[in-house]
Each structure stands twice: as C-alpha cells, then as structure tokens.
Chain A
C-alpha cells in the first residue's frame, strides 16, 4: 500500500531531551516536507527537501533539524525540545515539488 508513515504517533517528553520523529514513504517520491499544526495558526512548514540532494528551510525551522540521506526517509530531529514545540506534526511527500502531497498520519508531541 502506498503510504507515508510516521513514528511515533504520540510522544510526551521533557524539555531538553533529544528526540527524532521518523518519516518514511514507499512511493519513490522526490519531495518531502515537515509541517506543524497549531490551533489558530494553521499549518506551517518547517523544512522541505526537493530531492535527496536539496533540503531547505520552511517558515519555522528554528529548533529543528532534518536529514535526507536516502529518498524514502526524512526524519525530523529536535536536539533540545522546548514546550513551544508542543504541536501536531505532519510529514508529507510528493512525486516532484509540493504538488499533490500525500500526508502521514501525524505525530502529536507534548514537551513538558
């Protein structure tokens, strides 16, 4: 089944404890992206990757890192999480560019 998977789906952690949210797609898509969704703010793009060789910042990259070592995976890394990173995170992929994105199920992160 063609899909985008994220793990974990739910995570409660404490301030400063490094964490990684994984994202994987099995559709051979070039484009991948991370978003956060907060009430009243809609979706905001964190990072995106046009292909394995190109990764760029979105609107809210502060406090996040990403890695695109292979086409299928695009993990989101929080080196030192803070409470303001409590949010619902979505990963998405698309064949080429951000057109027709397929979204993962979301990861709900709480940082205490």
Chain B
C-alpha cells in the first residue's frame, strides 16, 4: 500500500529566501497532488502532477515529480508572508481504486519578515 512521507513537517523561513518541501512515496503512484491549507481554513488544490518529469508553476511555487525516485518537490522562491500555510502532498493509490488518495502529514510553513 502506498505511503507518503513529507519533510520537513515544520519550516520557518525568512521572507525572500528559497526552500524546498519534499514528498517521498513508497510504491508506484501514477499522479501526485499538492494542496494548501491556510490556518483555520479549508484546503485548496495547487498542482496535479501526472507524469515523470512533470513541472508545474504558479507564482512563487513550483512543483515537480520524479517517478523513478518516487519523489515530488514543492519549491518556494523568494518566500513572502502570504505563503504561510500548511502544504500537503498526496498520491493516488495505484494498486487500489482510482479514487483512493493517500496524504502526507503536511508541512507547516511559517514565513517571517
């Protein structure tokens, strides 16, 4: 069964700095998702990565997928306070039904001035 592990779980950054959140998964997953959750709020879908080498970018966030390494990354460029949130990755459980998602525990990002 698919397992998804994120690291770090907590990340405190200074504005203007770059950093990367890592999402490792244990078995084959044919697609990888990233979500954002603001404190006390619901979740928002950020990216869907469908194939090896896929790269998606929106603003200061860029997500990539390496299926051979079973690794997805979420790169933050020149962080700003508005990016403070918890970020989750999730994989689709390839061996199961197409609708089954397995989430990582989330990375709580705090961007300080």
A and B physically associate: yes
A interface with B by C-beta (< 8 Å): 31, 33, 35, 40-45, 48-50, 56, 58-59, 90, 92, 97-106
The answer to whether A103 and B48 touch across the interface, beta carbons within 8 angstroms, is no
Q: Separation in Å of the B87 CB from the closest CB of chain A?
A: 11
Chain B count of residues within 8 A CB distance of the other chain: 20
22 cross-chain CB contacts under 8 A:
A33-B99, A42-B88, A42-B103, A42-B104, A42-B106, A43-B103, A45-B100, A45-B101, A48-B99, A48-B101, A56-B97, A56-B99, A58-B101, A59-B100, A90-B42, A92-B43, A97-B98, A97-B99, A98-B98, A98-B101, A100-B48, A103-B43
Contact with A along B30-62 (1 / 0, CB 8 A): 010100000000111100100000000000000
Q: Separation in Å of the A61 CB from the closest CB of chain B?
A: 11
A interface majority secondary structure: strand
Known: A42-B104, A42-B106. A50 touches B98 (CB 8 A): yes
Q: Which residues of B contact A31 (CB under 8 A)?
A: 99
The answer to whether A98 and B43 touch across the interface, beta carbons within 8 angstroms, is no
Provide the bound-state CA to CA distance between A96 and B87, in Å: 23
B interface majority secondary structure: strand
The answer to whether A40 and B48 touch across the interface, beta carbons within 8 angstroms, is no
Provide the bound-state CA to CA distance between A44 and B93, in Å: 13
